[in-house]
C-alpha cells in the first residue's frame, strides 16, 4: 500500500467516523426503543374516585435492564402536565428480573385543570448498556370518566 493510499484510506475512515458517530447517537436509541422493547404485553386496569386514578399494570419484562428514572404526565387533547404517580405502598423504583409481573396499585392525583383527562403516559428510562439510556413508554393508562 502506498503512502497516498494510506492517507486516502485514513481520511476516508475519519470522514466515516465523523458521520457514523452522530448518526448512531441519534438513531440508535430510537431503533432500540422500537425494535427491542424492554416491556411488552401491557394490560392496564384503572379505577377513579374523584380526582384520584388508581391503576395496575400487567406486563412482561423482556430485557435485563436497570430502571433509573420514571416520569408521568396526564394528557387532555394537545395539553399535557407532569404529575406524581406513587405506589400505594410508597415503594421506591424497583428493577425487576425478566418475566411476567403485575405492578401496582399506583395512585395519581389529577390536577384541577385536567379532571377530564384522557390518559396518563409514563416514560421509563433504563440502563441496558453503556452507550445511552433506553427509553420505554409505559401505558397509555386510560383515565375513566368522572
In this prediction, residues 47-75 reach a mean pLDDT of 91
Nearest by Cα to 52 from 23, 81, 86, 20: 86
SS3 content of the chain, % helix, strand, coil (to 5): 25, 50, 25
How many Cβ atoms sit within 10 Å of the Cβ of residue 124?
A: 20
pLDDT tens digit sequence for 126-135: 998 888 889 8
pLDDT at 81: 93
For position 100, what pLDDT does the model report? 93
Q: Which domain holds residue 3?
A: 1-35
Please tell me the total count of domains within the chain. Answer: 2
Q: Measure the CA–CA gap between 95 and 104, rounded to whole angstroms.
A: 14
5 and 68 belong to one structural domain: no
Whether 19 and 82 share a structural domain: no
47 and 54 Cβ atoms separated by less than 8 Å? yes
Tens of pLDDT, residue by residue over 101-126, are 888 899 999 999 899 999 999 999 99
The percent of residues in the chain predicted with pLDDT above 70, rounded, is: 82
- Round the average pLDDT of the chain to a whole number and report it: 83
Phi-psi region of 131 (alpha: psi -120 to 50; beta: other; left: phi over 0): alpha
Looking at the fold, whether 118 and 49 belong to one and the same domain comes out as: yes
Q: How many CB atoms lie within 10 A of CB 16?
A: 10
Which of 11-25, 27-41, 64-78, 105-119 is predicted with the least confidence, judged by mean pLDDT?
11-25
Judge if 93 and 133 occupy the same domain: yes
* Residue 105: cis peptide before it, omega within 30 degrees of 0: yes
78 shares its domain with 25: no
Residue 29 has phi, psi (to 5 degrees) of -60, -35
Q: Are residues 28 and 4 in the same domain?
A: yes
55 lies in the same domain as 68: yes
Tell me, yes or no, whether 51 and 80 share the same domain: yes
Whether 78 has a pLDDT exceeding 60, the answer reads yes
Q: Is the pLDDT of residue 9 over 80?
A: no
Amino acid at each position: 500500500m502506498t503512502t497516498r493510499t494510506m492517507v486516502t484510506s485514513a481520511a476516508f475512515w475519519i470522514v466515516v467516523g465523523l458521520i457514523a458517530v452522530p448518526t448512531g447517537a441519534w438513531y440508535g436509541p430510537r431503533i432500540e426503543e422500537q425494535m427491542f422493547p424492554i416491556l411488552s404485553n401491557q394490560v392496564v386496569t384503572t379505577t377513579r374516585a374523584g380526582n384520584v386514578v388508581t391503576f395496575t399494570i400487567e406486563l412482561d419484562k423482556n430485557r435485563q435492564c436497570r430502571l433509573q428514572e420514571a416520569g408521568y404526565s396526564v394528557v387532555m387533547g394537545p395539553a399535557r402536565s407532569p404529575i406524581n404517580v406513587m405506589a400505594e405502598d410508597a415503594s421506591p423504583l424497583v428493577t425487576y428480573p425478566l418475566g411476567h409481573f403485575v405492578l401496582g396499585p399506583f395512585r395519581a392525583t389529577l390536577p384541577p385543570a385536567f379532571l377530564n383527562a384522557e390518559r396518563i403516559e409514563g416514560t421509563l428510562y433504563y440502563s441496558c448498556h453503556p452507550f445511552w439510556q433506553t427509553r420505554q413508554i409505559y401505558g397509555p393508562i386510560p383515565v375513566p370518566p368522572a
